């Protein structure tokens, strides 16, 4: 078995950076493992930018700078949004209405990734998750 490919949910990234004690022990260990490849979806970057713009989250820098610096620091691989992800997102059962989370699920399914998330709605989909 190859390395674990771990797709970070948006909240997981925020907690990793600002409140690591909120991460589960399993997720923290996976992130710390040299055998884990960490991925950050463009969907999460878009969600962060929109929430920052709306004043729903605070970041120490504008999203462009913050995401860039955190990606370097944590060696986060970017995960681009593909059309196949968009199609899959609308083909999923309606377990969850959040379009960003549905896109993360679609990306994980299409790319055979594990999502690091505490979100119980995501756990209802046929996707590997870790928390």
Question: Which CATH number covers residue 48?
Answer: 3.40.50.1010
Q: Whole domain around residue 12: which residue ranges?
A: 4-130
DSSP 98: -
**95 sits in which H/E element:** none
Query: Cβ distance 40 to 8 under 8 Å?
Result: yes
Q: Are 10 and 100 in contact (CB under 8 A)?
A: yes
The candidate with the shortest Cα–Cα distance to 9, out of 86, 90, 113, is 113
This prediction has a pTM of: 0.93
Residue 68 near residue 75, CB atoms below 8 Å = no
1 pLDDT tier (thresholds 50, 70, 90): low
pLDDT tens per residue across span 20-49? 999 999 999 999 999 999 999 999 999 999
pLDDT tier at 94, thresholds 50, 70, 90: confident
Q: What percentage of the chain has pLDDT greater than the value 90? A: 92
How many domains, in total, are found in the chain?
Answer: 1
- Asked if pLDDT for residue 66 goes beyond 70, the answer is yes
């Amino acid at each position: 078995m190859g390395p674990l490919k771990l797709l970070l949910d948006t909240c997981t990234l925020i907690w990793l950076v600002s409140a690591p004690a909120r991460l589960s022990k399993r997720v923290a260990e996976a992130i710390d493992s040299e055998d884990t490849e960490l991925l950050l979806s463009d969907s999460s970057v878009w969600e962060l930018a929109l929430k920052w713009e709306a004043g729903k989250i605070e970041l120490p820098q504008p999203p462009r700078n913050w995401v860039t610096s955190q990606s370097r620091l944590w060696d986060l691989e970017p995960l681009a949004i593909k059309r196949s992800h968009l199609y899959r997102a609308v083909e999923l059962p309606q377990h969850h209405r959040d379009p960003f989370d549905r896109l993360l699920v679609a990306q994980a399914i299409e790319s055979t990734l594990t999502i690091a998330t505490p979100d119980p709605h995501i756990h209802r989909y046929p996707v590997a998750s870790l928390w």
